[in-house]
Chain A
Amino acid sequence: DAGVIQSPRHEVTEMGQEVTLRCKPISGHDYLFWYRQTMMRGLELLIYFNNNVPIDDSGMPEDRFSAKMPNASFSTLKIQPSEPRDSAVYFCASSPRTARNEKLFFGSGTQLSVL
């Protein structure tokens, strides 16, 4: 299996622009997570899905952030409009189940820079 695939690897955009980050989880995994990593706040869980349904979005910072999972093999995290403070590495992770939180498989992340 190719693992969790994220695109793009790097994104540089200007303040006010819309940004869309993409994730393809490992086939057969029921859960998908979006994390954000910054120096100041470390790793933060933004939202997670179970069987394509959002379960907990309490970590989404504000209404500018939205996430969707239209099918089991694809998810997006959108920021509109983007701001410089959104600059971070965004990770997607998937898990076969979190009934026991047994193991998260992380993608390589998207490095987002908002100028």
Chain B
Amino acid sequence: AQSVTQPDIHITVSEGASLELRCNYSYGATPYLFWYVQSPGQGLQLLLKYFSGDTLVQGIKGFEAEFKRSQSSFNLRKPSVHWSDAAEYFCAVGGSWGKLQFGAGTQVVVTP
């Protein structure tokens, strides 16, 4: 069975500081991995995805994520956070077809 764990429910970060959000997954084959962001009152928007190839993937809004098969992780990073990055972030895992399994989400608060 596939599963996704986001260990941090809530993270507070200062504007301009770096951000790392953790994601661990369990999947029986090569996973398709995603990070989505949800702003208040909005649907989810895709930040980036990993299917194969280079394990460091670049996304929108200056985000990147690194796939580490040995650690079953797909952590999301941003070098310098902006106030507009305050949102909830979801990691998701799935196969080449069918349904995605979403993590519980990490709420990011950005302080001045």
Interface residues of A (CB under 8 A from B): 4, 33, 42-43, 45, 48, 56, 59, 91, 93, 98-104, 106-109
Contacts and interface: CB of A to CB of B under 8 A. Distances in A.
B46 A48 contact: no
A111 B105 CA distance: 19
A104 B45 CA distance: 8
B43 A48 contact: no
Nearest to B102: A43
B112 interface: no
Contacts of A4: 43
Contacts, number: 53
Interface residues of B, number: 23
A55 to B, nearest CB: 8
Given A108-B42, A109-B43, 16 more contacts: A42-B103, A42-B105, A43-B90, A48-B99, A59-B99, A93-B44, A99-B96, A99-B97, A100-B96, A101-B34, A102-B49, A103-B46, A104-B36, A106-B43, A108-B41, A109-B41
Interface of B: 32, 34, 36, 41-46, 49, 51, 90, 94-100, 102-105
Contacts of A103: 46, 49
A56 B98 CA distance: 8
B43 A108 contact: yes
| Interface SS majority for chain A | loop
Contacts of A104: 36, 44, 46, 100
9 contacts: A43-B90, A48-B99, A56-B98, A56-B99, A93-B43, A99-B96, A107-B43, A108-B42, A108-B43
